[in-house]
Amino acid sequence: MSHILPPHPEVEVLRAQLILKLRQQYQEMCHSREGIDSPLESFNRWLLERKVIDKGNDCMFPSSCSPEISQSMYREIVNDIPIKLVKPKYSADARRQLSKYAEAAKKMVETRNASPESRKLVKWHAEDTFQWLRKQPNATYDDYLERLAHLKRQCQPYLIEAAKGSVEGICSKIYALSCEYAKKVNEKSWQILQEHGVK
């Protein structure tokens, strides 16, 4: 049976503190495991998406969801791997971003548990990009964007494969922490009710 407990200021303060803590933990996990900031508004979207399917008793924390791994959170994280891409303002920015993406992709397959084939292909595409950059010092803004789109198309499947376990781990951990915090909030609610003689 579902028990939706009445709101109480102390409980709401605790819930707000724990939501903030979970948001920070998401940012820290993305940063420490993937070297990226958590995708903008991703945490808020995760809360909304999870609450649609959640069968838990807390009004904020998802705590009874199937599947446990959010596909939207997973997709948003892998989309920013190995670096978050932004629309560059000038040709120099576009050139820099292309170089950074190639470097980050190469480094990622070298340091992750990637298959030898993935490693070989990503490194080849990265080296090909570096050669192109050396040969094309005066390429246009559109040339850089086209080259980046091509590089991402070629490398992304291998990078996702290499990051899959780690990103799924982030999604699972955030959900597990959410369940834990929902329990803490529920316990606090019952504690306050008992202090006021409600059982």
* DSSP secondary structure letters along 28-96: HHIIIIISSPPPTTHHHHHHHHHHHH--SS-SSS--S-SSSS-HHHHHHHHHT-SS-----SSHHHHHH
Report the pLDDT value the prediction gives residue 1, as an integer from 0 to 100: 38
The values of phi and psi at residue 80, to 5°, are -95, 10
Report the pLDDT value the prediction gives residue 76, as an integer from 0 to 100: 97
Report the pLDDT value the prediction gives residue 194, as an integer from 0 to 100: 84
Rg (CA), the chain: 22
Domain check: are 15 and 47 in the same one?
A: yes
Residue 136 within any structural domain of the chain: yes
**CATH number (domain holding residue 91):** 1.20.1270.10
Q: Cβ contacts of residue 189 below 8 Å, gap of 6+?
A: 5, 8, 11
Write out the two tokens for 57: 């008793």
Report the pLDDT value the prediction gives residue 6, as an integer from 0 to 100: 74
Residue 2 within any structural domain of the chain: no
| 179: containing domain | 9-78+164-195
Domain check: are 154 and 87 in the same one?
A: yes
Domain check: are 64 and 97 in the same one?
A: no
Report the pLDDT value the prediction gives residue 187, as an integer from 0 to 100: 93
Domain check: are 91 and 70 in the same one?
A: no
Report the pLDDT value the prediction gives residue 199, as an integer from 0 to 100: 62
> Letter for the amino acid at 31?
H
Of 172, 167, 185, 193, which Cα lies nearest the Cα of 19? 185
Report the pLDDT value the prediction gives residue 54, as an integer from 0 to 100: 95
Instruction: Give, to the nearest 10 degrees, the angle between helix 141-195 and helix 42-53.
Output: 50
Domain check: are 169 and 142 in the same one?
A: no
Residue 1 within any structural domain of the chain: no
One-character DSSP codes across 123-188: HHHHHHHHHHHHH-TT--HHHHHHHHHHHHHHHHHHHHHHHHHHHHHHHHHHHHHHHHHHHHHHHH
Report the pLDDT value the prediction gives residue 198, as an integer from 0 to 100: 65
Q: Is the dihedral of CA 125, 129, 135, 136 positive or negative?
A: positive
Domain check: are 156 and 101 in the same one?
A: yes
Burial class (CB in 10 A: 0-12, 13-18, 19+), 197: exposed
Domain check: are 88 and 158 in the same one?
A: yes
Report the pLDDT value the prediction gives residue 113, as an integer from 0 to 100: 87
* pLDDT (tens place) for every residue of the chain, 199 residues total: 346 667 889 999 999 999 999 999 999 999 999 999 999 999 999 999 999 999 999 999 999 999 999 999 999 999 999 999 999 999 999 999 999 999 999 999 999 989 999 999 999 999 999 999 999 989 999 999 999 999 999 999 999 999 999 999 999 999 999 999 999 999 998 898 888 766 6
Residue 4 within any structural domain of the chain: no
Domain check: are 52 and 112 in the same one?
A: no
SS3 state at 4: coil
Q: Cβ contacts of residue 66 below 8 Å, gap of 6+?
A: 53
Report the pLDDT value the prediction gives residue 168, as an integer from 0 to 100: 98
Count the domains in the chain: 2
Domain check: are 89 and 135 in the same one?
A: yes
